Amino acid sequence: MRISGGQLKGRKVADRKKVFSSGDGKGGLRPTSAKVREAVFDILQAEIKGAAFLDLYAGTGAVGLEALSRGAEKVFFVEDNLVRSKSIEDYIKKTGFDKMAGVYSKSTVQFLKGASESAICFDIVFADPPYASDEISDVVLLLDGNDVLKEGGCLIVEHRTGLKLMEGMQTLGFIKNYRYGDTMLTLYRKGR
């Protein structure tokens, strides 16, 4: 798996097998494919430079690393698996982006509740929960009900094709679905 654009283009990510096996009893990792990552950054190309970016369920960290590579000002990675979060941290140090990134080894729900209480907010949130998880709705509702996502900011949720996400919410407006084989990206924008 390699970074597809920006300063780190071509650099390998997550080359260690232990990052891909879970070690937490929840099953193996399903990283965002290069094709879908490229699509995410095509969607975000006008917004990524200088953005505060949040990578939820970071896994290998490839999406957040791609955001850093393409000019995001700050990226927070949230990954509750300790092996994976440590691997992301190590990789960030090697790239020299450590002053622009933070890695949080906690659940997404815990992080979002804490960020809301601390008034931490982001321009872009990317969420890629395990496809078998029921957490997508909880995360979307949490982001709809707090100020973690800035006004005018966007949320992109990666999920399995066929899963219909909520459309009518208080602050998040559904924009569009993008389909890539068995993967779907759902785009929301806050306040529009």
Name the architecture of domain 17-190.
3-Layer(aba) Sandwich (3.40)
- What are the distances in angstroms from CA 116 to CA 151, 165, 189, 192? 14, 23, 18, 21
Domain definitions of the chain by residue range: 17-190
Residue 116 reports pLDDT greater than 90: no
Residue 25 reports pLDDT greater than 50: no
- Count the helix, strand and coil residues of the chain and give each as a percent rounded to the nearest 5: 30, 25, 40
CA-wise closest residue to 40 among 75, 5, 7, 12: 5
What pLDDT score was predicted for residue 35? 82
pLDDT in tens, 61-114: 989 999 998 999 999 999 999 999 999 999 899 888 989 999 999 999 999 999
Residue 18 reports pLDDT greater than 50: no
